[in-house]
Amino acid sequence: EVDCQWTEWSSWTDCATPNDQSTRQPCIGDMKETRPCSPGPTPEDCQLSEWHEWSECSSPCGPGEHSRFRKVVQEALHDGRPCDGVIHETETCEVRPCDSMDCQLSEWSEWSFVNPTEEDAPQTDQWFR
């Protein structure tokens, strides 16, 4: 029997299939090193869809809000990069300014009489409508 004599590692052997294992030996004897021939599944990064259109403004005039969203198309697999970024956005919007209402006066009311009773008030009778 020959004792193991350490030498430089031999070259890796060829793989018969991707699921096979390749070997190399560090010495003359029974010792050997083994590794898988395939590095494993390929990492897949998360993928987000394009943004959907903005929703309609929540108010027909004046300030309101609208929003848009996107979806996760592919979750991260096999140590791929996880999803990064928002999937829902909301912003303020204004379709148009709200028209200000002009002051509108009613018809004249009937005349009424006011007689001041306070001591500092002028002592004249007043009519209002």
pLDDT tier for residue 73 given thresholds of 50, 70 and 90:
very high
Question: Which one, of 82, 78, 87, 89, lies nearest residue 49 by Cα?
Answer: 87
Answer yes or no: are the C-beta atoms of 80 and 44 closer than 8 Å: yes
What average pLDDT is seen over the chain? Answer: 79
pLDDT tier for residue 22 given thresholds of 50, 70 and 90:
low
Average pLDDT over residues 26-39: 67
pTM higher than 0.85, yes or no? Answer: no
pLDDT score for 7: 72
pLDDT score for 64: 94
Question: Which one, of 97, 103, 106, 44, lies nearest residue 73 by Cα?
Answer: 44
pLDDT score for 44: 94
Element at 83 (helix H, strand E)? none
Q: Measured at the alpha carbon of residue 38, what is the angle toward residues 36 and 44, in degrees to the nearest 5?
A: 130
In whole angstroms, give the CA distance from residue 36 to residue 21: 5
